[in-house]
Amino acid sequence: MAVKSNHVTIKGIKDGLVFLLDDQCELDELLQELRYKLEHSHQNILTGPIIHVDVKLGSRKVSEEEKQMILDILKQKGNLLIRNVESPPIEPETPPGSRLELMTGIVRSGQVLHHDGDLLFLGDVNPGGVITCTGDIYILGALRGTAHAGVDGNEEAIIAASYFAPTQLRISQMISRPPDEWETRETVMEFAYLKNGSMEIDKISNISRLGRDFNVFKGV
Separation between Cα atoms, residue 186 and residue 165, nearest integer Å: 10
Separation between Cα atoms, residue 204 and residue 190, nearest integer Å: 5
**Beta sheet of 80-86, edge-to-edge order:** 8-13, 16-21, 51-56, 80-86
Separation between Cα atoms, residue 79 and residue 173, nearest integer Å: 64
Digit-by-digit pLDDT tens for the chain (220 residues) are 444 568 899 888 888 889 999 999 999 999 999 988 888 876 666 677 888 889 999 999 888 899 999 999 988 887 888 888 888 876 655 555 456 789 999 999 999 999 998 999 999 999 999 999 999 999 999 999 999 999 999 999 999 999 988 999 999 999 886 555 555 555 568 899 998 888 888 888 887 766 555 444 444 4
Please list the residues that pair with 105 across neighbouring strands.
Answer: 123
Burial class (CB in 10 A: 0-12, 13-18, 19+), 148: buried
CB atoms within 10 A of CB 160: 24
Domains in the chain with CATH codes: 8-86 (3.30.750), 101-210 (2.160.20.70)
Taking the model in full, what pTM does it have?
0.54
Local structure of 27: helix, strand or coil: helix
Distances (CA, A) of 98 to 45, 95, 111, 113, 216: 51, 6, 24, 17, 12
